[in-house]
Amino acid sequence: MYDSCGVFGIYSKELNVDVATQAYLALFALQHRGQESCGIAVCNEGVMHHHSDLGLVPDVFGRETLLKLGKGNMALGHVRYAPMDQKSRINAQPLVVRHIKGAMAIAHNGSITNAHALREKLQREGTVFHTTSDTEIIINIITKKRISTNTIEDAISEALKEIEGAFSLVIMSPSKLIAVRDPYGFRPLCMGSLGNDTVFASESCALDSIGAEFTRDIEPGEIVVVNKEGIKSNKTHCGKKNGMCVFEYIYFARPDSVIQGSCVHSARVNAGMFLAKEHPVDADVVMGVPDSGLDAALGYSRESRIPYEVGFIKNRYIGRTFIQPTQEERDRAVRIKLNTIKMSIKQKRVILIDDSIVRGTTMRRIVKLVRETGAREVHLRISSPPFVNPCYFGTDIDSRENLIACKMSTQEICKFLGADSLGYLSVENVQKIAHNATCDFCYGCFTGLYPVPEPVIEKDKYNYKIGE
């Protein structure tokens, strides 16, 4: 299982600007993309200061911490989620290194599919690693290329010839801010303007949070360089068949974000409308599981003309159970995360909408909770197809042996969950939810067909006890 993170960068034409606070505010808007750790790096005329730690944005960054970062003309921000074997303070980003041609900081969202081979090659050449993240592999390759190239952007371009997989990057050199997206465009990355300043972010909601204007999405394979001379674009690596992760629209992105020209909220409403057409059922109310099931429930209600009701109150002070690294933590989180509104459910035939079923344990508890509240019937509708394959590109979709749809039929899953009926959105219709999107999509977790060959996952021998 791999990372899902949020990145942010800002370049100001003015010196000694409070760019750290802008990064801090933007990270609040991206907090949903990662709740394990966060960090900010600031560049002040070539001198870089950074701070990162485990925890949420307001826990890691108090007023004093932001003041210590100081002012500058550039800043990077990062929020991180990590799988259980990489949950460590040392993996918090941005990563900052100092090499023979200067300092460099990097923030990364995604996952490198040839990471094992690249790490082993670098280790045989004498590279010493301090983290277990793919990001350190990227930064080491770029620094090696930088020695023999004229500019940092040339080094990045050369590095892209070796790195495979998903990587939306924001990189800071002493004088430049650089945004990079992998040639397939798996993960989102956009550009905006804040007065004369240039900003980059994983989602447009981060631009909105600081009052920046959306300019455009970074193209798959594009390298955008910002410095005192202006903005330059290198499209040498563009042109491959792209594959934006469709799960950004189903679950990961915030509803108020616009990705590749398509509104996330509208895509989820469309998913619910398609669900109503595919899996109609006679019922009294439609309700969504907060948060990413709410928009789809609205769409189902509109199409079916069955009243929409608020059925749950969510505890806003607990993170997503989907991205809790261990099952014990997920179980504990579900118990305190949701409470039902009895008047909306009691003696009702309920259509319950959620975005996905991964392992099935969380949904089983939610269905049980609805029944215990007094529902006469519970009809479960899922606004994505069944997960039957893992994701290698940055979405936390489990290995096949832990995916419930790989072990049971739809009827068996329905019985296991305790629902009266179960319906998934079809692959055919999930391809239609993002109207006007200016990209193609990856549906590999549903179909097994990936834009790139399925990687061979190998253990890093340096992260396991002898004999394992």
Show which residues are catalytic. 5
Interaxial angle between packed helices 294-304 and 264-278, expressed in degrees from 0 to 180 and rounded to the nearest 10:
50
- Which residue is listed with tokens 């599981």? 289
Structure tokens at 267: 């895509």
List helix spans (H) across 99-183.
Answer: 115-124, 134-147, 152-159
- The CB density around residue 240, as the number of other CB atoms within 10 Å, is 14
336 burial type by CB count under 10 A (0-12 exposed, 13-18 middle, 19+ buried): exposed
- 372 three-state secondary structure: helix
276 burial type by CB count under 10 A (0-12 exposed, 13-18 middle, 19+ buried): buried
Structure tokens at 336: 């305190």
- Which residue is listed with tokens 């329905």? 414
- 161 three-state secondary structure: coil
Phi/psi for 320 (5° steps) reads: -65, 130
Distances (CA, A) of 209 to 22, 205, 226: 9, 6, 22
316 burial type by CB count under 10 A (0-12 exposed, 13-18 middle, 19+ buried): exposed
Element (H, E) at 379: strand 377-382
- Which residue is listed with tokens 């592999």? 137
36 burial type by CB count under 10 A (0-12 exposed, 13-18 middle, 19+ buried): buried
For 235, what's the count of Cα atoms within 13 Å in the CB-facing half-sphere?
7
3-state helix, strand, coil split of the chain in percent (to 5) is 35, 25, 40
Instruction: Give the C-alpha separation, 398 to 324, whole Å.
Output: 12
Structure tokens at 313: 């109150």
Instruction: Give the C-alpha separation, 298 to 304, whole Å.
Output: 10
- Contact present, 409 and 424 (Cβ < 8 Å): no
